[in-house]
Amino acid sequence: MDNTMIEKIKTLAKEKENEIIKCRRDLHKYPETGWTEFRTSSIAQKKLSSLGYHITMGEKANNKEYMMGVPCEEILKENQERAVMQGADKEIVEKMTHGYTGFWADMKFSDDGPFLAFRFDMDSNDVTETSDETHRPNKENFSSVNKGAMHACGHDAHVSLGIAAAEIIADIKDSLKGSIRFIFQPAEEGLRGALPMIKAGACNNITHIIGMHIGFQAGNSQTIICGADKFLASTKYDVTFYGKSAHAGAYPEEGRNALLAACNAAINLHAISRNSHGVTRINVGKLTAGEGRNVIPSKAEIIMETRGETSFLNEYMEQESKRIIEAAALMENCTYEIKTAGGSQSGQSSKEMIEYVKEAVKYIPDYKNIIDNVSFGAGEDFATMMSFVQENNGIGTYIQAGIDKCAGHHNNYFDFDEKNLIPALQAAVITAYLILKK
């Protein structure tokens, strides 16, 4: 019975090749950054609702108290209007006001059995796609039309995979027990979207959870990685220093130089001592300050992040950062404000879930290089969801499905062979079947 159903799943996935490519290209053409995924979310919601899934969306799916780095209402409104102009369902978009773009979709097969969740991220990058005529999205007319936004990390593919997986699950529902949930998460870039959804109940009662990403450490289409550990816990900060402007030549003693405070902070943040307990990282990515050549700067802003191999190590970096920021402000007699703009926990895949994935992918001949587990060495919002499920006696894993790509992730030339999405889809659905089969 297993082999028959697995072959059926593989066939259903192959039959969706044109559909999944069409969906991915549509989403690629209309990318939306974190908390503005109105069009993307409405398309996925409408499709899954039509398949019989129960949708939880809007404020019920996004706890506003934990939403960080949300654009101002004016920008949100502009993006809502743009989404409708670009084909989004107006009624659905209106229910996502204030950036409530995340949602989940449930289907119940029986009262007993596992409760499996998949997480698919939806947001694009703050990247301007190349205008090079040789770039395939330009040649085939699906490059980004939204200024300053590009799907340079493959989240357009993730949403397409999520929709296709939900379709196949609906087709084989009579062979399944328990329940399934498809979580479509906003704002993964910047590690902002998982926690508000967790706090809204996205992971409550989940017994098994899977996150999936195309590419990254899986170097080519013949490789799949079934699990990951050593996700770096991370916190993102926006720091503002407040000084006092004055004429730099006539009355310098009356000024308080916010730019110098920010510079001292930036330099010394990178001097934080490493920790013997494991890997740590820090980066000041941007510093903005100044009004004029002869004016002592009254305001300066830095955006920065800390990372740690464990949550303990990230907390160490946070504490040291705050100490240095305070001291840098004091040196220039300035005040300061720190706002948390995002963050994620550390995490590691469960051995039991890795085994499910390994069992599934042995049926997929495209994958000739099957890797059990890797050290991730970066932050991923999914780690917070996976850790929550594990802390509540569940299990989880993070799959990396290889692709043949022409440029790296977050590069403005990023693109890949879309046929690689079919084995990734097969891997996801076969794994789900092995967990939920009657």
Q: How many residues does the chain have?
A: 438
Q: What gap in Å lies between CA 237 and CA 324, rounded to an integer?
A: 14
Map residue 55 onto helix, strand or coil: strand
Cα angle: 38, vertex 40, 43; to 5 degrees: 105
Residues 151, 49, single domain; the answer is yes
d(CA 353, CA 214): 18
Where do the H-state alpha helices sit in 293-345? 311-331
If one counts the domains in the chain, the total is: 2
Q: Do 257 and 389 lie in a common domain? A: no
Q: Identify which of 18, 123, 26 has the alpha carbon closest to the alpha carbon of residue 69.
A: 123
Q: Which domain holds residue 66?
A: 2-231+346-436
Domain C-terminal end among 315, 344, 373? 344
As annotated, the binding site for Mn(2+) includes: 153, 155, 189, 213, 410
Residue type, 129: E
387 burial level (CB within 10 Å; 0-12, 13-18, 19+): buried
Can you say which residues are annotated as belonging to the binding site?
Answer: 153, 155, 189, 213, 410
50 and 130 share one domain: yes
Reported as a single tens digit per residue, the pLDDT across 193-234 is 999 999 999 999 999 999 999 999 998 999 999 999 999 999
Q: What percent of the chain has pLDDT over 90?
A: 97
- The structure tokens 């690629």 sit at 28
| Domain end point (choices 313, 344, 375) | 344
Torsion over CA: 58, 61, 66, 68 (sign): negative
pLDDT in tens, 345-383: 899 999 999 999 999 999 999 999 999 999 998 889 999
Is residue 126 domain-shared with residue 105, that is, in the same domain?
Answer: yes
Q: Are residues 46 and 128 in the same domain?
A: yes
Residues in the chain, pLDDT under 50: none
Residue from 243, 430, 223 nearest 335 by CA: 243
Both 286 and 366 in one domain: the answer is: no
Whether residue 272 is found in the same domain as residue 408 = no
Q: Which residues contact 174 (CB under 8 A, 6 or more apart)?
A: none
d(CA 231, CA 309): 7
Q: How far apart are CA 144 and CA 27, in angstroms?
A: 9
Quote the mean pLDDT of the chain. 97
Determine the pLDDT at residue 377.
85
